[in-house]
Chains A and B, each alone.
Chain A
Amino acid sequence: MSKGGTQSTQATLPKWFETGLQQGVGMGRDLTPLMSTYIPESGPTVAALSPQEQLSQQYTNMAAQSFGMPTVDTSSYLPPVQNMGGIQGYSAQPMIDQMISNVPQGQRDYIESFGISDTGEIGLRAPQNQPVALEMQGGGRGK
Chain B
Amino acid sequence: MGAGANPQMTANPFAQASGAQQGALAGTAAGMTYQPSQVQATSYQAADPTQLMAGYQNPYENQVVQQTLADIGQAQDIALNQMGAQATAANAFGGSRQGVAEAQTRLGYGKQAANTIGQLRQQGFNTALTAAQNQAAAQNAASQFGAQAGMTAQQLNQMAGLQGAQQRLGAASQLGNLGRQSFGYGQQIQQQQAREGAMQRQIQQQLIDQARGGFQRYTGAPAQGLQTLLGTLTGVPNVQGQSSSFNPGLFNYLQLGASMF
Contact = CB atoms under 8 A, between A and B. Distances in A.
Interface string A75-115: 01111000000000011110110011001000000010011
In the complex, which range does the number of interface residues on chain B fall in? 35 or more
Contacts of A46: 203, 206-207, 210
B185 interface: yes
B219 interface: yes
B247 A90 contact: no
B1 to A, nearest CB: 6
A31 B3 contact: no
Q: Is the interface of A mostly helix, strand, loop or mixed?
A: mixed
A76 B243 contact: no
A1 to B, nearest CB: 8
Contacts of B13: 67-69
A136 interface: no
B180 to A, nearest CB: 14
Given A17-B239, A74-B200, A67 B228 contact: no
A46 to B, nearest CB: 5
Interface of A: 1, 3-14, 17, 21, 24-25, 27-29, 31-38, 40-41, 45-46, 49, 53, 56-57, 60, 63-65, 67-74, 76-79, 90-93, 95-96, 99-100, 103, 111, 114-115, 125-127
17 contacts: A4-B250, A4-B251, A13-B240, A24-B232, A25-B233, A28-B231, A34-B225, A36-B221, A36-B226, A37-B225, A41-B214, A67-B186, A68-B13, A73-B4, A77-B2, A95-B211, A111-B221
